[in-house]
Amino acid sequence: MKYLLPAFVALLLTLTTAQAQQSPQPQSSVPQPKPAPPQDLASRVPPPKPDDVKSLDAILRALYDVISGPAGERDWNRLRSLCVPEARFTSTTKSAASTAPRLLTIDDYIQRAGKFFTTHGFYESAIVNRVQKFGNIAQVFSSYESRNAPNEKPFARGINSIQLFYDGQRWWVLSILWDEESSANPLPSEMATKPSAPVSE
């Protein structure tokens, strides 16, 4: 009997521990906050010009038009109306100081480009837009040329990679990624000459 008692106690402790582990934990009585419903995109940006967002071609034209003009302020609310609020503008153009990409929010871009546009005329237009679409998304490779005045020779060329999505009502710009042409990085021949047909393909 004296040998059975310790074994009985050990068995009892084992069963008690197992039962405690299997017992359901009490639920917290503190109510958990519900996530806020997603806010409609249109309510987060300035109202667009209807002609700017009536088609994919229209929003591409508006992107170039909004940054082009003589020295002075640009209509930055118009730019904001074309993009989702979290859109990104990224330059991958290499310089002597850095080869790192420069990732900008819309406000970053407005602050940097706005200072230049205040004192410099700037006109940029598409050469060729190569469009690929699938469902509600689109990717556009848009070669461009930049000028100081409308009829001058371009001082720079390059390619904008533009990502967009369609919400059932209109197209929105999600991001623009660009690189400039150089002697070591010329535009591909099919992107270097403006066709006689409409610019978008």
Q: What is the CATH number of the domain that holds 130?
A: 3.10.450.50
Does residue 35 belong to any structural domain of this protein? no
- pLDDT tens digit string along 96-114? 676 778 899 999 999 999 9
Does residue 131 belong to any structural domain of this protein? yes
Q: How many domains does the chain have?
A: 1
Amino acid at 183: S
User: Token pair 């978008």 is at which residue?
Assistant: 200
Residues sharing a CB contact under 8 Å with residue 132, sequence separation 6 or more, in sequence order: 138, 139, 140
CA 97 to chain centre: 26
The token pair that represents 38 in the structure block:
């997603």
Which residue numbers in the chain have pLDDT < 70?
1-29, 36-38, 94-96, 98, 197-201
Helix locations, 23-135, DSSP H: 56-67, 76-82, 106-119
Does residue 25 belong to any structural domain of this protein? no
Does residue 114 belong to any structural domain of this protein? yes
The sheet carrying 137-147 orders its strands as 102-105, 83-91, 171-180, 156-166, 137-147, 123-134
How far is residue 86's CA from residue 74's CA, in Å, rounded to a whole number?
A: 20
- Can you give the residue range of the structural domain that contains 105? 42-192
Strands 156-166 and 171-180: what pairing? antiparallel
Does residue 16 belong to any structural domain of this protein? no
* pLDDT for the residue 20: 47
Does residue 140 belong to any structural domain of this protein? yes
Does residue 146 belong to any structural domain of this protein? yes
Does residue 152 belong to any structural domain of this protein? yes
pTM, to two decimals: 0.78
